[in-house]
C-alpha cells in the first residue's frame, strides 16, 4: 500500500501506461522500458524518509537497479514533505522537489471563462501529433533530439492509455489548432488524476486553461464517476492559483529527489 496520494496515482498512471512495478519491501522499483530517459518513469520509491547514513546505501540501490541510467531519481512515500537526513541528501548533490498534491470533490466555474475556444477530446492522428508539438513548445528546457524523442514516447504512452479506456485527453482548440491540453485518468474506485496541463505560450493569460480544467473536472465528477479529483502542482508556478480558484485544496506534499546527469 502506497500512502502518498501523489505517488499512488503516479504509479497507477505509469502502470496503465505500460511501466513495470516491483515491490522489494523497502522500496518499489518503477521501470519504463519504452522510455528509459523518463526520470520519473525509472525511479525507486522508498517507503521511509532518509535516516542518518542512508544516502550512499540508497544511491547504491538505485545504481544496482538501473546500472545504465545517467540520472538518479528517488521518491519517498510520505505526505508531509519530510526528507529525513536532509543535510546529507543535499550534500550528496540531490535536488529536492516538493510538489503540492491537491484534491477536489466539487469545483466552481472560473472567474474569467474563455468561450472563444472549442473544448473537446483528442481523437485524430493530427490531434495527437499536435500534442507532441505542444509538449515541445512548453518544454522547461532547450529542446534537443533526446528531449523530442522523450516527448514523443510520452505521448505514445498517453494515447495507449486512452485507447485502453483508462482515461480521456481533452484539448482547447482555435479552429483545428491545439491551444491547451490535459489528461484525466480514472482508477475505477472513485479517484481521477489530472495529468500534464499544458498551454501554448501564445495562448496563455486568456482563461483557456482554467476553462479546460473546469470542464474536464465537471466531466470527471459526473460522467466519469469520480468522487475525488487529484492534481499535482508546482508550488512556485502560477498555475497553482488557478487550481485553488477552481476549488482544489492543498492536501499533501510529494517528495521527488533527483541528481541530473553529468553534463
Give 208-247 pLDDT, tens digit per residue: 999 999 999 999 999 999 999 999 999 998 899 999 999 9
Any domain includes 165:
yes
| Residues 58-69 pLDDT 10s | 999 999 999 999
* 151 and 61 housed in the same domain: no
* 134 and 20 housed in the same domain: no
Start-to-end CA distance of the chain, whole Å, equals 37
Cα 182 from Cα 169, distance rounded (Å): 6
Residue 62: how many other CB atoms lie within 10 Å: 21
* 169 and 214 housed in the same domain: yes
* 142 and 66 housed in the same domain: no
Any domain includes 122:
yes
pTM (whole model) above 0.85? yes
Beta strand pairing status for 95-104 and 167-174? unpaired
Upper half-sphere CA count for residue 108 (Cβ side, 13 Å):
10
Can you name the residues that pair with 233 across neighbouring β-strands? 100
* 32 and 148 housed in the same domain: no
* 90 and 130 housed in the same domain: no
Read off the CATH number of the domain in which 171 is found. Answer: 3.40.630.30
For 122, the domain range is 118-246
Structurally, the chain folds into a number of domains equal to: 2
Can you name the residues that pair with 27 across neighbouring β-strands? 46
* 140 and 242 housed in the same domain: yes
Cα 174 from Cα 117, distance rounded (Å): 5
* 127 and 87 housed in the same domain: no
Determine contact, residues 76/48, Cβ cutoff 8 Å: yes
Sign of the CA dihedral with 87 first, then 73, 30, and 16 last: positive
* 192 and 227 housed in the same domain: yes
Amino acid at each position: 500500500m502506497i500512502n502518498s496520494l501523489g505517488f499512488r496515482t503516479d504509479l497507477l498512471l505509469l502502470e496503465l501506461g505500460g511501466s513495470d512495478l516491483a515491490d522489494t519491501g523497502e522500496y518499489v522499483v518503477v521501470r519504463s522500458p519504452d522510455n528509459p530517459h523518463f526520470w520519473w518513469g525509472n525511479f525507486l520509491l522508498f517507503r521511509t524518509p532518509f535516516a542518518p547514513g542512508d544516502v550512499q546505501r540508497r544511491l547504491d540501490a538505485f545504481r544496482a537497479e538501473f546500472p545504465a541510467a545517467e540520472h538518479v531519481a528517488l521518491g519517498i512515500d510520505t505526505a508531509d514533505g519530510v526528507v529525513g537526513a536532509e543535510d546529507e541528501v543535499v550534500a550528496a548533490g540531490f535536488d529536492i522537489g516538493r510538489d503540492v498534491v491537491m484534491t477536489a470533490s466539487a469545483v466552481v466555474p472560473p472567474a474569467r471563462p474563455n468561450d472563444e475556444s472549442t473544448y473537446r477530446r483528442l481523437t485524430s492522428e493530427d490531434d495527437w501529433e499536435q500534442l507532441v508539438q505542444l509538449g515541445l513548445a512548453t518544454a522547461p528546457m532547450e529542446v534537443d533530439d533526446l528531449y523530442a524523442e522523450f516527448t514523443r514516447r510520452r505521448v505514445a504512452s498517453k494515447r495507449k492509455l486512452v485507447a485502453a479506456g483508462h482515461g480521456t485527453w481533452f484539448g482547447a482548440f482555435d479552429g483545428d489548432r491545439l491551444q491547451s491540453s490535459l489528461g484525466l485518468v480514472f482508477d475505477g474506485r472513485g479517484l481521477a488524476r489530472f495529468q500534464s496541463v499544458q498551454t501554448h505560450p501564445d495562448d496563455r493569460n486568456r482563461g483557456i486553461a482554467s476553462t479546460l480544467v473546469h470542464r474536464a473536472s465537471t466531466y470527471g465528477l459526473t460522467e466519469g464517476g469520480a468522487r475525488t479529483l487529484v492534481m499535482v502542482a508546482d508550488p512556485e508556478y502560477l498555475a497553482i492559483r488557478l487550481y485553488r480558484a477552481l476549488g482544489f485544496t492543498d492536501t499533501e506534499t510529494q517528495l521527488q529527489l533527483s541528481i541530473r546527469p553529468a553534463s
